Amino acid sequence: MLFAFLIATALGIAYLRHLFAVVMLAGMFSLLSALLLLSMDAADVAFTEAAVGAGIATILMLSAMALTERQEKPSNRSMLERLPALAVAGAFGALLIYAMLDAPPFGDPFAPAQTHVAPYYIEQTAREIDVPNLVTAILASYRGFDTLGEVVVIFTAGIGVALLLGGFVARDRSK
Amino acid sequence: MNATELVMGSDAALFMSGMNAYLLDFLATGYNYWMAIVLMMIGFYITLARSNLVKKIIGLNLFQTAMFLLYISIGNVVDGGVPILTDNPDALYSNPLPHVLILTAIVVGIATTALGLALAVRIHEAYGTIEEDEILDAEAGDS
């Protein structure tokens, strides 16, 4: 059911040209997917998606829109010129579905993904870390270095944005 | 004998009902997977077909969110709970590993989105447009 809403929102994003509406729809898409993530027991991910995807991303896109243009220009590409994009997307999707055909059924507790590494964390976290939230325990302790790497990525992106938008060097903006 | 059998003969009707059962089974075992893939492809199509750069980035975001949904679907366990330890020793939890991976991916995703939007703003400063077609035309005019 939620997926139907998500697909409707995505098609709306594809169809509309008014960028403000598109950005709002993208925020809605994020909130809907946060609901869906919550229904799949991923509370932490849902929180993050709602805060980052629906909050920060929307603000970033609105500011980018304010600095550029509010309206997507009607494309002069004909339907025929869009056909390759549609074909590539369709073929890629079919390939992905073909690749997923062998996947264990949704929610199978004996799927390889569930039986290999995860049980260790579920069984040992209470003894080794003593944090009730397993996601926090893995993120901050077992996989602490990954999280450090993530911070490095954000820092690099921050530097990149600052350099691109010229926080350090005064540029001639009049031209 | 029902209407379908009258039209197609009983063998064909049997085949059709078999196909229906197969199709239902196919949809039921991986409904989340297929829907996530459909969403992914809508995002991919927006990225490929639209010439507006901000719209392209939004398409990439859609693709990414759909991928998150696929990952969390894989980690889901039927009757499992949110992976927060309870006092009940028999409690079944969903797999926490995909959650951790996707948390990292969301944050990295917002970093790349910010960088992409900054590039779009910079391109707008340089070319006065964020439409790919017009930028290509301007480039062709320069050289």
Q: Which is nearest to A58 in space by CA: B110, B53, B42? A: B110
**Is residue A117 in a domain?**
no
**Is residue A159 in a domain?**
yes
What's the pLDDT score for residue B5?
Answer: 52
Q: Are A36 and A6 in contact (CB under 8 A)?
A: yes
Q: Which is nearest to A134 in space by CA: B100, B105, B72? A: B100
**Is residue A174 in a domain?**
yes
**Coil, helix or strand at residue A104:** coil
**Is residue A83 in a domain?**
no
Domain extent at residue A1: 1-72
**Is residue A167 in a domain?**
yes
State what percent of residues in chain B have pLDDT above 70. 91
- Phi/psi region, residue A28 (left: phi>0; alpha: psi -120 to 50; beta: rest), is alpha
pLDDT in tens, A77-95: 666 777 888 899 999 999 9
The angle formed by the CA atoms of residues B70, A35 and A3, to the nearest 5 degrees, is 55
Phi/psi for B129 (5° steps) reads -155, 155
Residues 6+ apart with CB under 8 A from B117: A60, A61, A63, A64, B54, B57
pLDDT in tens, A84-129: 888 999 999 999 988 888 888 887 888 888 888 888 888 888 788 7
pLDDT in tens, B12-21: 777 777 777 7
Phi/psi for B80 (5° steps) reads -80, 160
Q: Chain A within 8 Å of B13 (Cβ-Cβ)?
A: no
What's the pLDDT score for residue A141?
Answer: 83
Which one of B23, B24, B25, B45 makes the best mutation probe of the A interface by having the most chain A beta carbons within 10 Å?
B45
Task: Name the stretches of chain B with pLDDT < 70.
Answer: 1-10, 143
What's the pLDDT score for residue B63?
Answer: 93
CATH fold, domain B32-142, is: Helix Hairpins (1.10.287)
What's the pLDDT score for residue B134?
Answer: 84
Candidate from B69, B72, B117 with C-beta closest to A64 = B117
What's the pLDDT score for residue B127?
Answer: 86
Confidence band, pLDDT 50/70/90 cuts, at residue A76: low
| Tokens 């869906």 found at | A36
The number of folded domains in chain A is: 2
Q: Chain A within 8 Å of B100 (Cβ-Cβ)?
A: yes
What's the pLDDT score for residue B114?
Answer: 93
- Identify the burial level of A88 via C-beta atoms within 10 angstroms of its C-beta, where 0-12 means exposed, 13-18 middle and 19 or more buried: middle
SS3 letters across A106-162: CCCCCCHHHHCCHHHHHHHHHHHCCCCEHHHHHHHHHCHHHHHHHHHHHHHHHHHHH
**Is residue A106 in a domain?**
no
Chain B residues in contact with A107 by the CB 8 A cut-off are: 76-78, 80
- How far apart CA B58 and CA B131 sit, in angstroms, is 14
The distance of B143 to chain A (nearest Cα, Å) reads 20
What is the ipTM score, two decimals? 0.85
CA distances from B52 to A14, A25, A129 (A): 11, 16, 48
What's the pLDDT score for residue B1?
Answer: 47
Residue where a domain terminates, one of A41, A72, A103: A72
**Is residue A126 in a domain?**
no
Residue where a domain terminates, one of A72, A91, A122: A72
- How far apart CA B46 and CA B48 sit, in angstroms, is 5
